[in-house]
């Protein structure tokens, strides 16, 4: 009897485990200790391989990472006791491994000769700032539903952030894509922050409009075709991402925003036709822009013919200017199944952006296919926890917000990993948590904090309700 009952239960669409609902904070603590020890091990490994001795700063860095993780854990225990137990450890591990890999590339003489400065201490500072923002979000955002009030404000803020870099003067450090704002020696990437803010807008907007988008449609050849006027929002977002592509020549950001919107539209309306429309529009838009934008065309050439860079100058296809893509492929190839070992690869041959966009190539060479799979699985697990949170959320806004944030994260990982491995054209985006880049690491910590807040609300046993006098008006059914 018990067996049949159990199988019957797994068949239903259960979303959160019944009974008990342990807070699982101790699981989180154990995983967190594990997640701090692995980067320390990696750090020792790099030091031994490069200099033949334990690195001097090992105790300091290890304790620093451990301290940040410990404070984060205590705050989660205090302010979000029912939050998901895995997101914080996975984020800590990825951030720690990223720090080790950046430190390892700092040791490379080849990169130092190119003029790349030491990046690890800065990245550690950015990580600390990121964790500080993570703590601030958990402490001050008592309920994610508060964000719903700022639906249209966040649209305006996100548009300003997205448009800002286009109006700043281009500097030689822009590297083709205009996505930075510079203040002296200091630069930020506002598109990264816009990622979270625009998700809030999409979630609030789609929650209100989804019935119109889902129900008012004609059926044609097995597909639900939306009415012309309901295409409005998707056209606006599409136009926006095309404008980003044209004026900031940034394929990654444009792909991320449009993809995220299509995913959220699909989740909100359950209509497959939106995905089809989205894919067609994205492909059409990118192909259109590539016809006149040299930077985008160069990226596509580097994707289709990465090895042609080694041809003599006059036989190279037009627009191919860098051997990064080829070197990244060499790195993955020479890594093989088990990798060359930390600190023993030559991924520094990639040169420019080895520590940021191409950090995954270092993983591929020094940890091999085995390590790359593990890292990608960790990203996958983090996304899975986010989608799980969306399933468990009991309010539509929280569901859409969690789906939007995790799909933004997933799309970013896909766009970067796919670009570095040559699956899709390379776009200037950073691997979340691992790659060098302050804006990225700060944003992703905030993103994880919001997901933790939603999962805390979703798993928390319900409190007694307080009746409110200002009840909303309700529509009356007329017979």
- Chain positions 141 to 160 lying near other proteins, rule: CB under 8 A, are 143, 145, 148
CA distance 362 to 368: 9
- Contact segment (CB under 8 A) with other proteins among 190-198, 305-313, 378-386, 435-443 equals 378-386
When binding is defined by CB under 8 A, the residue of 342, 353, 354, 420 that contacts other proteins is 342
Q: Does 209 bind other proteins (CB under 8 A)?
A: no
Of 28 and 248, CB closest to other proteins = 28
Kindly tell me the number of DSSP H helices and DSSP E strands found in the chain: 17, 4
Q: Which of 185, 291, 315, 474 binds other proteins (CB under 8 A)?
A: 474
Distance CA(383)–CA(391), nearest Å, equals 13
Q: Which of residues 244-283 bind other proteins (CB under 8 A)?
A: none
* One of 384, 418, 421, 422 touching other proteins (CB under 8 A): 384
CA angle 421/301/425 to nearest 5° reads 35
d(CA 251, CA 170): 17
The distance of closest approach from Cβ of residue 13 to other proteins in the complex, given in angstroms and rounded to an integer, is 4
The H or E element that residue 186 is part of is: strand 186-188
Task: Give whichever of 44 and 166 is closer to other proteins, judged by the CB atom.
Answer: 44
Sequence-separated (6 or more) residues with CB below 8 Å from residue 102: 119, 120, 123, 355, 359, 436
Question: Quick check: 396 binds other proteins (CB under 8 A)?
Answer: yes
Contacts of residue 156, defined as CB under 8 A and 6 or more positions apart, other chains included, come to none
Please give the C-alpha separations between residue 94 and each of 215, 221, 379, in angstroms, as whole numbers. 42, 46, 8
176 near other proteins, judged by CB under 8 A: no
Rule CB under 8 A: is residue 374 a binding residue for other proteins? yes
Site membership for other proteins, residue 163 (CB under 8 A)? no
- Is position 4 an interface residue for other proteins (rule: CB under 8 A)? no
Quote the CA–CA distance of 422 and 420 in Å, as a whole number. 6
Among 59, 294, 377, 423, contact with other proteins (rule: CB under 8 A): 377
Angle CA 81–82–87, to nearest 5: 95
| SS3 label, residue 18 | coil
320 binds other proteins (CB under 8 A): no
Among 12, 185, 291, 315, binds other proteins (CB under 8 A): 12
35 interacts with other proteins by CB under 8 A: yes
Subset of 67-126 contacting other proteins (CB under 8 A): 85-86, 89-90, 93
Estimate the crossing angle of helix 232-248 against helix 251-269, to 10 degrees.
170
Choosing from 236, 239, 394, 423, the residue that interacts with other proteins (CB under 8 A) is: 394
215 in contact with other proteins (CB under 8 A): no
Closer residue to other proteins in complex, CB, 228/467: 467
């Amino acid at each position: 009897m018990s067996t049949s009952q159990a199988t019957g239960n797994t068949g239903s669409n259960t979303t959160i485990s019944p009974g008990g609902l342990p807070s699982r904070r101790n699981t989180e603590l154990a995983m967190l200790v594990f997640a701090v020890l692995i980067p320390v091990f990696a750090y020792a490994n790099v030091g031994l391989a490069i200099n033949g001795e334990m690195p001097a700063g090992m105790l300091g860095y290890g304790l620093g990472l451990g301290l940040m993780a410990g404070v984060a854990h205590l705050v989660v225990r205090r302010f979000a006791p029912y939050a998901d137990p895995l997101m914080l450890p996975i984020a800590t591990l990825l951030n720690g491994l990223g720090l080790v890999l950046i430190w390892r590339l700092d040791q490379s003489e080849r990169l130092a000769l190119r003029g790349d400065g030491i990046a690890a201490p800065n990245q550690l500072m950015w990580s600390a700032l990121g964790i500080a923002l993570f703590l601030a979000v958990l402490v001050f955002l008592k309920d994610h539903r508060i964000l719903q009030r700022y639906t249209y404000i966040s649209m305006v803020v996100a548009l300003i952030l997205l448009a800002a870099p286009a109006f700043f003067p281009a500097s030689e450090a822009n590297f083709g894509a205009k996505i930075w704002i510079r203040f002296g020696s200091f630069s930020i990437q506002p598109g990264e922050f816009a990622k979270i803010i625009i998700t809030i807008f999409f979630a609030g907007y789609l929650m209100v409009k989804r019935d119109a988008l889902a129900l008012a449609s004609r059926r044609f050849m097995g597909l639900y075709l939306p009415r012309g006027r309901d295409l409005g929002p998707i056209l606006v977002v599409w136009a926006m991402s095309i404008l980003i592509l044209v004026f900031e020549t940034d394929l990654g950001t444009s792909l991320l925003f449009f993809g995220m919107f299509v995913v959220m539209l699909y989740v909100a309306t359950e209509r497959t036709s939106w995905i089809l429309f989205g894919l067609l529009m994205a492909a059409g838009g990118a192909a259109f822009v590539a016809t006149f934008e040299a930077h985008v065309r160069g990226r596509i050439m580097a994707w289709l013919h990465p090895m042609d860079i080694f041809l003599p100058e006059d036989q190279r296809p037009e627009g191919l200017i860098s051997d990064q893509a080829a070197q990244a492929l060499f790195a993955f190839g020479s890594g093989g199944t088990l990798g060359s070992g930390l600190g023993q690869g030559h991924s520094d041959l990639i040169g420019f952006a080895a520590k940021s966009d191409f950090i995954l190539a270092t993983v591929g060479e020094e940890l091999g296919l085995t390590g790359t799979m593990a890292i990608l699985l960790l990203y996958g697990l983090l996304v899975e926890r986010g989608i799980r949170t969306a399933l468990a959320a009991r309010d539509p806004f929280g569901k859409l917000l969690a789906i939007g944030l995790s799909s933004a994260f997933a799309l970013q990982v896909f766009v970067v990993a796919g670009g570095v491995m040559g699956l899709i054209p390379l776009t200037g985006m950073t691997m979340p948590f691992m790659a060098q880049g302050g804006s990225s690491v700060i944003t992703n910590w905030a993103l994880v904090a919001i997901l933790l807040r939603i999962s805390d609300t979703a798993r928390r046993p319900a409190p007694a309700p307080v009746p409110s006098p200002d009840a909303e008006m309700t529509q009356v059914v007329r017979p």
